[in-house]
């Protein structure tokens, strides 16, 4: 496994393989301003793409909802269209062009390009499609999850079942918040205060020996990995799986295990949860006296402990300002002229460089999580013959032939 992301040198863009550094996106691209994109996160495991059909079904469904195609086609800028087989071949070509057949993360994205005025109405802008591939390190670290102040979007305000770019805005805020507390993934609640999901993964909690997960209709993205665990792996393991409302109290006081599931996350244990003092106080205020007391008691009786964690984001800001103050007089003078005193800014940031809160342990062992993780690994790597139909084998020869016909000369020239 790599320690840092490895970006593919080539992308597929509107029908052609191109060098990634040669793609020019116009600044009036509608999706850049308004988030009108749909995308997927897909995994290739040793030339086998896991549940590609389901991912493309969701991608095309999202494109249909956003008027960028139908359930079967996605419009092209030239007036034509792409089919699911076209996108499948494009994914294969992109993987082969980058030499990522042994494994990679695949990101197809459909968006509104340049061509209409900058107003909110995006229907006049052309539909464009791109495919990017990267090799990722472990997606979820061993650091604690962090309870977020940001709630998952009200399901009445979003687009159910659509992986749209604009829907990830609050997830991005929540992820930043988790990083600022030196954590891993944020744990977001829904608008009613129940567990929802992370910024890029669904949550599952083991209660009374059952795998429990939030309802589909709470604003979460019903993930394909979530479906895999709930409807296939849990049944194979003889574990009952169900949807239900799960409170923070349930997670802290009743759960024996919890884990994340997602295409990038795969199956990752959630062993610890960090809650900042501010977020904890606001959450208790939303509960009412009785439930707030129950939560406080659960924290006191559990394995919770107060700790101060470094804020790496603020730490980097302090380093930047100190560098300007000491080693860059010209930049320092520009800051002062702009109305900012770097010394006062540093003094203010020093008060924010640590985050205080409560760290809670979720269970002590993870037998269910471990069994699910092993089953998922066997399924995605082709070791479970019962699920080989979930794996799309990359047609490497055909992809190489297509590349040779259309872009081989360009690729060889750029690699020389």
Residues ≥6 apart with Cβ < 8 Å to 266: 139, 225, 373, 376, 377, 380
Residue that the structure tokens 């884990």 belong to: 259
CATH code matching the domain that covers 145-306+359-365, chosen among 3.10.20.30, 3.40.470.10, 3.20.10.10, 3.65.10.10? 3.20.10.10
Conformation bin of residue 165: beta by default, left when phi > 0, alpha when psi is -120 to 50: alpha
- CATH code for the structural domain at 6-137+386-407: 3.30.470.10
Give the pair of three-digit tokens for residue 144: 């604690």
What's the confidence (pLDDT) of residue 405?
74
Give the pair of three-digit tokens for residue 315: 């730490």
Q: Would the pLDDT of 412 be above 70? A: no
Q: Model confidence over 327-376: pLDDT tens digits?
A: 999 999 999 999 999 999 999 999 999 999 999 999 888 999 999 999 99
Distance between CA 269 and CA 261 in Å, rounded?
9
What's the confidence (pLDDT) of residue 116?
81
For the chain, domain boundaries: 6-137+386-407, 145-306+359-365, 312-352
Mean pLDDT of the chain: 93
What's the confidence (pLDDT) of residue 308?
96
Ranking 157-166, 171-180, 371-380, 385-394 by mean pLDDT, the lowest is 157-166
What's the confidence (pLDDT) of residue 406?
66
User: What is the value of pTM for the model shown?
Assistant: 0.93
| Position with higher pLDDT, 299 vs 214 | 214
Q: Model confidence over 252-292: pLDDT tens digits?
A: 999 999 999 999 999 999 999 999 999 999 999 999 899 89
Q: Would the pLDDT of 158 be above 80? A: no
Q: Would the pLDDT of 198 be above 70? A: yes
- Which phi and psi angles does 117 have, rounded to 5°? -65, 165
Q: Model confidence over 11-44: pLDDT tens digits?
A: 999 999 999 998 988 999 999 999 999 999 999 9
**Cα atoms in the 13 Å half-sphere on the side-chain side of 115:** 12
DSSP three-state, residue 262:
strand
């Amino acid at each position: 496994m790599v320690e840092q992301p490895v970006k593919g040198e080539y992308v597929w863009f509107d029908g052609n393989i191109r060098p990634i550094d040669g793609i020019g996106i116009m600044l009036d691209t509608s999706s850049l301003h308004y988030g009108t994109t749909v995308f997927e996160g897909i995994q290739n495991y040793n030339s086998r793409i896991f549940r590609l059909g389901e991912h493309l079904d969701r991608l095309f469904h999202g494109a249909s909802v956003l008027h960028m195609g139908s359930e079967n086609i996605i419009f092209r800028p030239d007036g034509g269209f792409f089919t699911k087989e076209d996108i499948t071949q494009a994914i294969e070509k992109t993987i082969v062009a980058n030499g990522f057949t042994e494994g990679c993360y695949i990101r197809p994205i459909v968006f509104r390009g340049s061509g209409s005025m900058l107003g909110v109405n995006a229907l006049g802008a052309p539909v464009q499609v791109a495919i990017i591939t990267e090799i990722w390190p472990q997606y979820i670290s061993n650091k604690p999850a962090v309870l977020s102040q940001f709630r998952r979007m009200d399901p009445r305000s979003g687009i159910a079942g659509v992986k749209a770019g604009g829907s990830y805005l609050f997830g991005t805020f929540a992820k930043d918040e988790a990083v600022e507390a030196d954590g891993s993934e944020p744990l977001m609640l829904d608008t009613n205060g129940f567990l929802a999901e992370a910024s890029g993964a669904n949550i599952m909690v083991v209660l009374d020996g059952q795998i429990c997960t939030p309802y589909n209709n709470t604003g979460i993205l019903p993930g394909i990995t979530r479906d895999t665990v709930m409807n296939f792996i849990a049944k194979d393991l003889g574990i009952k799986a169900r949807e239900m409302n799960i409170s923070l109290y349930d997670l802290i006081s009743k759960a024996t295990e919890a884990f994340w599931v997602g295409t990038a996350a795969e199956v990752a244990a959630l062993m610890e949860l960090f809650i900042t003092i501010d977020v904890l106080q606001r959450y208790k205020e939303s509960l009412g006296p009785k439930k707030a007391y129950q939560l406080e008691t659960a924290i006191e009786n559990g394995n919770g402990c107060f700790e101060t964690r470094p804020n790496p984001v603020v730490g980097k800001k302090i380093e930047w300002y100190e560098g300007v103050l000491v080693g860059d007089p010209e930049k320092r003078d520009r800051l002062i002229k702009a109305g900012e005193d770097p010394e006062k800014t540093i003094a203010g940031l020093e008060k924010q460089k640590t985050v205080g809160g409560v760290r809670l342990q979720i269970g002590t062992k993870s037998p269910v999580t471990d069994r699910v993780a092993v089953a998922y690994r066997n399924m995605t790597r082709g070791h479970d013959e019962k699920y080989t139909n979930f794996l799309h084998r990359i047609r490497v020869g055909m992809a190489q032939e297509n590349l040779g016909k259309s872009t081989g000369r360009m690729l060889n020239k750029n690699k020389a």
